[in-house]
Amino acid sequence: MIHQFDVLILGSGTAGQSLALRLAESGQRVALVTKRSLADSASAWAQGGIAAVLDNTDSIEAHIQDTFTAGAGLCDARATRFVVENGRAAIDWLIGRGVPFTREDQSALGYHLTREGGHSHRRIIHAADATGAAVQATLTEQVVAHPGITIFENHIAVDLLVGDKIGQPGAGCLGAYVFDIERNQVLTFGARNTVLATGGAGKVYLYTTNPDVATGDGIAMAWRAGCRVANMEFIQFHPTCLYHPQAKSFLISEAVRGEGGLLKLPDGTRFMPEHDERAELAPRDVVARAIDFEMKKRGLDCVYLDISHKPADWLRGHFPNIHARCLELGIDITRSPIPVVPAAHYTCGGIVVDLAARTDVANLYAVGESACTGLHGANRLASNSLLECLVFGEAAARDILAKPRGAAPTLPEWDESRVTDADEEVVISHNWAELRRAMWDYVGIVRTNKRLRRAQHRIRLLEREIHEFYSHFRIGNDLIELRNLVVTADLIVRCALRRRESRGLHHSRDYPDLLPRARDTVLRPPRGKRA
């Protein structure tokens, strides 16, 4: 079955939904494809807020400098200025949409601004401690109501349709093959423009703060289509993921440290001042490495984040969701410290794009965590991610709307005439577990060449086995995700092996020093894989 639209958006987080609304309100027919429901995205899990210059005591230059500092010299100057200068307009757009940000009567702005690690000012606008959920709920209601947006839940993209691969040389991206999970069939989506808003790749690691849908799909599909990928070695490990056997991927917001939370050893001793003069307010990579160091040095399962010295009513008001979730697990944050560990959190690299979110393939765009815009450099500054989603979503919409509408492409349907039903599904689950364990053990917070080579060897073996499985059997959701995860894992390791220094999120025992010049790690697909 073939569906035709003006724009195909793969992914339904803040980047995808904000872009869909902007396009549909300008008369475009939009397909919004999401692997599960509209609510299932990393955006919805974002707790802290959105960074933007909103107060008269703050400045564009200060926000840019904070971003540069966190990015360890690798942030692209043009991209960073572009995002920061458009920050206020992005927030105003959300306020106009009705996002219920936390108010504060004493503020000239009328909204409460918090501060997070790496920021020199209070500039994080938020909705209590569930900002992403508030943004997503507001946008989702409007996306569902808009007649120009057709929503396809429980659908996952298999691969992009690129002209050079289907007998239409030079046509660029023409849409995608999409698997209908409920009906167990592959559909063909044709579109004049296709946007990858598929999020990051946290699920490539055993422990992550990401939802299950974060399997690097867009990055892997773009690579197979012929797009450059950059800086995949920079995986941000969030320092404070709740450590509890019944808590899966529950994040303890950066704002807890921003509001005075202290990291402590089991005996109550603080340790961050020994690692960095900024202590708990140091950037995430510094804090994550410090926790990792203390845990390994002392044989600890976790460390503790203590904010119990704050008034109980204040804590319940500022962190209602964290308070409630911890209380469910028997942890009263008004009285006791929170057990925490680092976990894979954010993919700073991704598909190379320009300031209009265009990739190397014509008519193909990438926005949000799947893209490498140059904003994050070697380490993302807290709460810059949702801002990037909004600013680049608007940029992509502007570029798409400026194009003339061409004729709908003629596309081939999916061919599965030469495959059979899988005889051993257990292969997929075993490969999935082995891949994530290898990445956690060998490509974690602190790396060595020996560990990276060991991971690469295992990944290459898995890649061949998964390709063999994909070539001979009918596909399903787990196989599609595993195929993308193994490609993404390979890209992470290849980038890590190329970087012969320690910078930002990439810390190597073999190369502990910083090189005098910061360079991006850019991978180009071999010609045989190009579209």
> pLDDT tens string for the chain (531 positions)?
799 999 999 999 999 999 999 999 999 999 999 999 887 777 776 777 999 999 999 999 999 999 999 999 999 999 999 999 999 999 999 999 999 999 987 776 889 998 887 899 999 999 988 898 999 999 999 999 999 999 999 999 999 999 988 888 888 999 999 999 999 999 999 999 999 999 999 999 988 888 889 999 999 999 999 999 999 999 999 899 999 988 877 889 888 998 999 999 999 999 999 999 999 998 777 898 899 889 888 999 899 999 999 999 999 999 999 999 999 999 999 999 999 999 999 999 999 999 999 999 999 999 999 999 999 999 999 899 999 999 999 999 999 999 988 777 789 989 887 787 776 677 788 898 999 989 988 999 999 999 999 999 999 999 999 998 888 888 999 999 999 999 999 999 999 999 999 999 999 999 999 999 999 999 999 875 443
Tell me which residue of 101, 69, 147 sits closest to 386, measured CA to CA: 101
The catalytic residue positions are: 284
Q: Which residues of 451-473 are buried (b: 16+ CB within 10 A; e: fewer)?
A: bbebbbebbeebbeebeebbeeb
Give all domains of the chain, ordered by start, each with its CATH number: 2-233+348-401 (3.50.50.60), 237-343 (3.90.700.10), 426-511 (1.20.58.100)
Q: What are phi and psi of 422, to 5 degrees?
A: -65, 140
Q: Report pLDDT for 528.
A: 52
* Dist. CA 347–CA 340, nearest whole Å: 21
pLDDT for residue 514: 96
- In this prediction, residue 292 carries a pLDDT of 87
- Residue 197 identity: A
Contact between residue 60 and residue 184 where contact means Cβ atoms under 8 Å apart: no
- Reported in sequence order, the residue ranges of 19-170 that DSSP labels E, i.e. its strands, are 30-33, 50-51, 113-114, 124-125, 149-152, 155-162
Residues 6+ apart with CB under 8 A from 170: 163, 164, 362
Q: Distance between CA 479 and CA 412 in Å, rounded?
A: 22
Among residues 364, 384, 365, 363, which one has the least CA distance to residue 375? Answer: 384
Distance CA 84, CA 66 (A): 11
Residues, the chain, total?
Answer: 531
CA distance 164 to 172: 7
State the amino acid at position 519 in one-letter form.
R
Cα 5 to Cα 140: distance, rounded to the nearest angstrom? 20
Please state the separation of Cα 168 from the chain's center in Å: 33
